[in-house]
Amino acid sequence: MDVFAAAMKNAGWVKGQNLDIQIVSILGSRKSPPEAAADLLALSPDVIIAVTLVSAEPLHRQTSEVPVVFVVGSYDPVEKGFVASINEPGSNMTGITDLEPSLGGKWLQLLKEIAPAIARVGVVYNPDETISAPLLPAIKDAARRIAIDILDVPIRNEVEIGRMITTFADNPNGGLIFPSDIFTAAHRAQIIAEANGHRLPTLFPYRFFAVDGALASYSASQTSEFSQAAYFVDRILRGEKPANLPVQTPNKYEMVINITTAKALGIEVPPAVLSIADEVIE
Protein backbone atom coordinates (compact mmCIF):
# COMPACT_ATOMS: atom_id res chain seq x y z
CA MET A 1 0.00 0.00 0.00
CA ASP A 2 2.98 2.32 0.53
CA VAL A 3 4.00 1.70 -3.08
CA PHE A 4 0.45 2.39 -4.23
CA ALA A 5 0.24 5.65 -2.26
CA ALA A 6 3.61 6.79 -3.62
CA ALA A 7 2.55 6.04 -7.21
CA MET A 8 -0.70 7.93 -6.66
CA LYS A 9 1.25 10.89 -5.27
CA ASN A 10 3.40 10.91 -8.41
CA ALA A 11 0.17 11.11 -10.41
CA GLY A 12 -1.03 14.09 -8.37
CA TRP A 13 -3.17 12.38 -5.73
CA VAL A 14 -2.00 13.00 -2.16
CA LYS A 15 -3.40 11.27 0.92
CA GLY A 16 -5.07 13.75 3.24
CA GLN A 17 -5.39 16.36 0.49
CA ASN A 18 -7.31 15.09 -2.52
CA LEU A 19 -7.15 11.36 -1.80
CA ASP A 20 -8.65 9.18 0.93
CA ILE A 21 -7.64 5.51 1.14
CA GLN A 22 -9.67 3.17 3.33
CA ILE A 23 -8.88 -0.52 3.81
CA VAL A 24 -11.48 -3.20 4.48
CA SER A 25 -10.01 -6.62 5.25
CA ILE A 26 -11.34 -10.00 6.33
CA LEU A 27 -8.00 -10.82 7.95
CA GLY A 28 -8.46 -10.92 11.70
CA SER A 29 -12.19 -10.38 11.39
CA ARG A 30 -15.12 -12.77 11.53
CA LYS A 31 -16.62 -11.46 8.33
CA SER A 32 -16.99 -13.41 5.13
CA PRO A 33 -15.72 -11.96 1.82
CA PRO A 34 -19.31 -11.01 0.76
CA GLU A 35 -19.82 -9.23 4.09
CA ALA A 36 -16.53 -7.34 3.72
CA ALA A 37 -17.47 -6.41 0.16
CA ALA A 38 -20.80 -5.04 1.37
CA ASP A 39 -19.03 -2.98 4.05
CA LEU A 40 -16.70 -1.56 1.42
CA LEU A 41 -19.53 -0.63 -0.94
CA ALA A 42 -21.32 1.08 1.96
CA LEU A 43 -18.44 3.57 2.07
CA SER A 44 -19.50 4.79 -1.42
CA PRO A 45 -15.97 4.69 -2.87
CA ASP A 46 -15.08 6.23 -6.22
CA VAL A 47 -12.80 3.25 -7.02
CA ILE A 48 -12.16 -0.10 -5.33
CA ILE A 49 -8.94 -2.10 -5.46
CA ALA A 50 -9.74 -5.80 -5.07
CA VAL A 51 -6.73 -7.64 -3.68
CA THR A 52 -6.81 -11.33 -4.72
CA LEU A 53 -9.65 -13.37 -6.13
CA VAL A 54 -11.27 -13.64 -2.70
CA SER A 55 -12.22 -9.97 -2.77
CA ALA A 56 -12.79 -9.64 -6.53
CA GLU A 57 -15.50 -12.31 -6.76
CA PRO A 58 -17.98 -10.88 -4.22
CA LEU A 59 -17.46 -7.39 -5.59
CA HIS A 60 -18.23 -8.71 -9.06
CA ARG A 61 -21.49 -10.15 -7.75
CA GLN A 62 -22.49 -7.10 -5.71
CA THR A 63 -21.81 -4.17 -8.02
CA SER A 64 -21.80 -3.44 -11.73
CA GLU A 65 -21.48 0.31 -11.22
CA VAL A 66 -18.56 1.06 -8.90
CA PRO A 67 -15.20 0.82 -10.72
CA VAL A 68 -13.13 -2.15 -9.47
CA VAL A 69 -9.41 -2.64 -10.14
CA PHE A 70 -8.30 -6.21 -9.41
CA VAL A 71 -4.68 -6.86 -8.48
CA VAL A 72 -2.55 -9.77 -7.25
CA GLY A 73 -4.07 -12.92 -8.63
CA SER A 74 -3.20 -15.87 -10.84
CA TYR A 75 -6.56 -16.24 -12.52
CA ASP A 76 -8.16 -15.54 -15.88
CA PRO A 77 -10.48 -12.51 -15.50
CA VAL A 78 -12.31 -13.46 -18.71
CA GLU A 79 -13.01 -16.97 -17.45
CA LYS A 80 -14.22 -15.51 -14.15
CA GLY A 81 -16.59 -13.22 -16.00
CA PHE A 82 -15.00 -10.03 -14.66
CA VAL A 83 -14.26 -8.71 -18.15
CA ALA A 84 -15.47 -9.47 -21.67
CA SER A 85 -11.91 -9.57 -23.02
CA ILE A 86 -8.41 -8.56 -22.00
CA ASN A 87 -8.20 -5.68 -24.47
CA GLU A 88 -11.81 -4.52 -24.06
CA PRO A 89 -13.05 -5.24 -20.53
CA GLY A 90 -16.50 -3.84 -21.26
CA SER A 91 -17.53 -3.73 -17.60
CA ASN A 92 -16.87 -1.91 -14.34
CA MET A 93 -13.79 -4.09 -13.72
CA THR A 94 -10.22 -4.07 -15.00
CA GLY A 95 -6.75 -4.50 -13.52
CA ILE A 96 -3.73 -6.79 -13.49
CA THR A 97 -3.62 -10.57 -13.84
CA ASP A 98 -0.41 -12.48 -13.27
CA LEU A 99 -1.75 -15.73 -14.68
CA GLU A 100 1.05 -17.08 -16.86
CA PRO A 101 0.85 -20.86 -17.33
CA SER A 102 4.51 -21.11 -18.42
CA LEU A 103 5.45 -19.91 -14.93
CA GLY A 104 4.91 -23.47 -13.68
CA GLY A 105 7.77 -24.75 -15.81
CA LYS A 106 10.00 -21.91 -14.62
CA TRP A 107 9.33 -22.92 -11.00
CA LEU A 108 10.42 -26.49 -11.62
CA GLN A 109 13.57 -25.52 -13.49
CA LEU A 110 14.52 -23.04 -10.80
CA LEU A 111 14.01 -25.54 -7.99
CA LYS A 112 16.22 -28.03 -9.85
CA GLU A 113 18.92 -25.37 -10.34
CA ILE A 114 18.87 -24.46 -6.65
CA ALA A 115 18.86 -28.07 -5.44
CA PRO A 116 20.35 -30.24 -8.25
CA ALA A 117 19.90 -33.49 -6.30
CA ILE A 118 16.13 -33.30 -6.61
CA ALA A 119 14.65 -36.20 -8.60
CA ARG A 120 10.99 -36.07 -7.56
CA VAL A 121 8.76 -33.06 -6.96
CA GLY A 122 5.37 -32.85 -5.33
CA VAL A 123 3.03 -30.14 -6.58
CA VAL A 124 0.90 -29.20 -3.60
CA TYR A 125 -2.44 -27.48 -4.11
CA ASN A 126 -5.99 -27.30 -2.84
CA PRO A 127 -8.20 -29.07 -5.41
CA ASP A 128 -11.19 -27.04 -4.24
CA GLU A 129 -9.55 -23.94 -5.71
CA THR A 130 -9.13 -23.48 -9.45
CA ILE A 131 -6.25 -20.99 -9.36
CA SER A 132 -3.48 -23.56 -9.75
CA ALA A 133 -5.07 -25.63 -12.51
CA PRO A 134 -3.59 -23.76 -15.54
CA LEU A 135 -0.06 -24.11 -14.12
CA LEU A 136 -0.01 -27.88 -13.67
CA PRO A 137 0.42 -28.85 -17.36
CA ALA A 138 3.45 -26.56 -17.70
CA ILE A 139 5.05 -28.10 -14.63
CA LYS A 140 4.54 -31.60 -15.99
CA ASP A 141 5.86 -30.66 -19.44
CA ALA A 142 9.02 -29.22 -17.89
CA ALA A 143 9.40 -32.32 -15.72
CA ARG A 144 9.49 -34.56 -18.79
CA ARG A 145 12.28 -32.47 -20.31
CA ILE A 146 14.53 -32.63 -17.26
CA ALA A 147 13.64 -36.17 -16.12
CA ILE A 148 11.93 -35.35 -12.84
CA ASP A 149 9.04 -37.35 -11.44
CA ILE A 150 6.00 -35.20 -10.66
CA LEU A 151 3.42 -36.13 -8.05
CA ASP A 152 0.10 -34.37 -7.58
CA VAL A 153 -0.33 -33.67 -3.87
CA PRO A 154 -3.81 -32.34 -3.10
CA ILE A 155 -4.48 -31.01 0.40
CA ARG A 156 -7.73 -29.55 1.74
CA ASN A 157 -7.12 -28.80 5.42
CA GLU A 158 -4.49 -28.15 8.08
CA VAL A 159 -4.40 -31.79 9.24
CA GLU A 160 -3.41 -32.98 5.79
CA ILE A 161 -0.45 -30.56 5.63
CA GLY A 162 1.68 -32.36 8.20
CA ARG A 163 0.65 -35.81 7.03
CA MET A 164 1.40 -35.00 3.42
CA ILE A 165 4.83 -33.53 4.06
CA THR A 166 5.85 -36.33 6.42
CA THR A 167 4.80 -39.00 3.92
CA PHE A 168 6.49 -37.25 1.01
CA ALA A 169 9.74 -36.90 2.96
CA ASP A 170 9.96 -40.67 3.53
CA ASN A 171 11.69 -41.02 0.14
CA PRO A 172 14.94 -39.18 -0.70
CA ASN A 173 15.73 -36.44 -3.23
CA GLY A 174 12.32 -34.82 -3.03
CA GLY A 175 11.21 -31.21 -3.35
CA LEU A 176 7.91 -29.35 -3.24
CA ILE A 177 6.26 -26.67 -5.35
CA PHE A 178 3.31 -24.71 -3.98
CA PRO A 179 1.44 -22.87 -6.74
CA SER A 180 -0.39 -19.72 -5.77
CA ASP A 181 -3.62 -20.32 -3.92
CA ILE A 182 -5.33 -18.84 -0.90
CA PHE A 183 -5.05 -22.01 1.21
CA THR A 184 -1.27 -22.08 0.82
CA ALA A 185 -0.89 -18.40 1.70
CA ALA A 186 -3.13 -18.67 4.74
CA HIS A 187 -1.24 -21.70 6.13
CA ARG A 188 2.26 -20.76 5.02
CA ALA A 189 3.75 -20.69 8.54
CA GLN A 190 2.82 -24.33 9.14
CA ILE A 191 3.77 -25.41 5.62
CA ILE A 192 7.20 -23.75 5.73
CA ALA A 193 7.97 -25.09 9.20
CA GLU A 194 6.97 -28.65 8.24
CA ALA A 195 8.89 -28.61 4.94
CA ASN A 196 12.04 -27.15 6.48
CA GLY A 197 11.80 -29.55 9.39
CA HIS A 198 11.87 -32.48 6.94
CA ARG A 199 14.67 -30.81 4.92
CA LEU A 200 12.56 -30.57 1.79
CA PRO A 201 13.54 -27.86 -0.72
CA THR A 202 10.47 -25.81 -1.54
CA LEU A 203 9.53 -23.14 -4.06
CA PHE A 204 6.63 -20.75 -3.65
CA PRO A 205 5.12 -18.07 -5.86
CA TYR A 206 5.54 -14.83 -3.91
CA ARG A 207 8.33 -13.00 -2.10
CA PHE A 208 6.60 -13.05 1.28
CA PHE A 209 6.96 -16.84 1.39
CA ALA A 210 10.75 -16.58 1.15
CA VAL A 211 10.73 -13.76 3.70
CA ASP A 212 8.81 -16.08 6.03
CA GLY A 213 11.45 -18.81 5.70
CA ALA A 214 10.77 -20.73 2.50
CA LEU A 215 13.78 -21.67 0.38
CA ALA A 216 12.85 -19.62 -2.68
CA SER A 217 10.12 -17.81 -4.55
CA TYR A 218 9.55 -16.66 -8.11
CA SER A 219 6.61 -14.59 -9.31
CA ALA A 220 5.42 -11.24 -10.46
CA SER A 221 6.49 -8.46 -8.14
CA GLN A 222 3.51 -7.62 -5.95
CA THR A 223 4.82 -4.14 -5.21
CA SER A 224 5.13 -3.53 -8.93
CA GLU A 225 1.55 -4.70 -9.43
CA PHE A 226 0.32 -2.12 -6.91
CA SER A 227 2.21 0.55 -8.79
CA GLN A 228 0.37 -0.59 -11.93
CA ALA A 229 -2.90 -0.48 -10.00
CA ALA A 230 -2.27 3.20 -9.33
CA TYR A 231 -2.26 3.80 -13.09
CA PHE A 232 -5.79 2.42 -13.35
CA VAL A 233 -7.07 4.33 -10.32
CA ASP A 234 -5.59 7.58 -11.63
CA ARG A 235 -7.21 7.12 -15.05
CA ILE A 236 -10.58 6.28 -13.50
CA LEU A 237 -10.51 9.24 -11.09
CA ARG A 238 -9.82 11.45 -14.12
CA GLY A 239 -12.98 10.22 -15.82
CA GLU A 240 -12.03 7.15 -17.85
CA LYS A 241 -14.19 4.03 -17.69
CA PRO A 242 -12.79 0.65 -16.62
CA ALA A 243 -14.58 -0.80 -19.64
CA ASN A 244 -12.10 1.00 -21.89
CA LEU A 245 -8.89 0.26 -19.94
CA PRO A 246 -7.26 -3.01 -21.10
CA VAL A 247 -6.24 -5.55 -18.49
CA GLN A 248 -2.46 -5.58 -17.96
CA THR A 249 0.05 -8.28 -17.16
CA PRO A 250 2.88 -7.72 -14.67
CA ASN A 251 5.81 -5.64 -15.84
CA LYS A 252 8.30 -7.14 -13.39
CA TYR A 253 9.09 -10.62 -12.05
CA GLU A 254 11.36 -11.34 -9.10
CA MET A 255 13.31 -14.31 -7.78
CA VAL A 256 14.06 -14.41 -4.07
CA ILE A 257 16.31 -16.95 -2.33
CA ASN A 258 16.53 -17.41 1.42
CA ILE A 259 20.17 -18.37 1.86
CA THR A 260 19.71 -18.93 5.59
CA THR A 261 17.12 -21.61 4.86
CA ALA A 262 19.32 -23.10 2.15
CA LYS A 263 22.17 -23.51 4.65
CA ALA A 264 19.82 -25.08 7.20
CA LEU A 265 18.70 -27.58 4.55
CA GLY A 266 22.30 -28.39 3.64
CA ILE A 267 21.94 -26.85 0.18
CA GLU A 268 24.77 -24.89 -1.40
CA VAL A 269 23.01 -22.70 -3.92
CA PRO A 270 25.12 -22.47 -7.12
CA PRO A 271 26.76 -19.05 -7.60
CA ALA A 272 25.19 -18.79 -11.06
CA VAL A 273 21.73 -18.93 -9.49
CA LEU A 274 22.58 -16.44 -6.76
CA SER A 275 23.92 -14.04 -9.37
CA ILE A 276 20.53 -13.76 -11.09
CA ALA A 277 18.43 -13.58 -7.91
CA ASP A 278 16.66 -10.27 -7.39
CA GLU A 279 17.03 -10.65 -3.63
CA VAL A 280 19.02 -12.92 -1.33
CA ILE A 281 17.74 -13.12 2.24
CA GLU A 282 20.35 -13.78 4.91
**Which pLDDT score, from 0 to 100, does residue 29 have?**
80
Q: Residues 237, 274: one domain?
A: no
**Average pLDDT, stretch 57-67?**
97
Q: Distance between CA 60 and CA 102 in Å, rounded?
A: 28
Residue type, 73: G
pLDDT band at 246 (very low <50, low <70, confident <90, very high): very high
**Average pLDDT, stretch 93-102?**
87
Q: Residues 71, 124: one domain?
A: no
Q: What's the angle, vertex CA 77, arms to CA 72 and CA 79, rounded to 5?
A: 140
Instruction: Flag whether pLDDT at 132 surpasses 70.
Output: no
**Which pLDDT score, from 0 to 100, does residue 156 have?**
84
Give the pLDDT confidence of 222-245 residue by residue, as tens digits: 889 999 999 999 999 999 999 999
- CATH code assigned at 226: 3.40.50.2300
Q: Residues 7, 145: one domain?
A: no
What does the DSSP 8-state code read for residue 243?
A: G
**Which pLDDT score, from 0 to 100, does residue 180 have?**
77
Q: Residues 158, 268: one domain?
A: yes
Give the pLDDT confidence of 15-44 residue by residue, as tens digits: 999 999 998 888 778 889 999 999 999 999
- DSSP state letters, 103-167: HHHHHHHHHHHHSTT--EEEEEE-TT--TTGGGHHHHHHHHHHTT-EEEEEE--SHHHHHHHHHH
Give the pLDDT confidence of 158-213 residue by residue, as tens digits: 888 989 999 999 999 999 999 877 788 888 999 999 999 999 999 998 999 999 99
pLDDT band at 135 (very low <50, low <70, confident <90, very high): confident
Q: Which residue has the higher pLDDT, 60 or 157?
A: 60
**Which pLDDT score, from 0 to 100, does residue 130 have?**
59
In terms of residue numbers, what domain contains 17?
Answer: 2-99+221-251
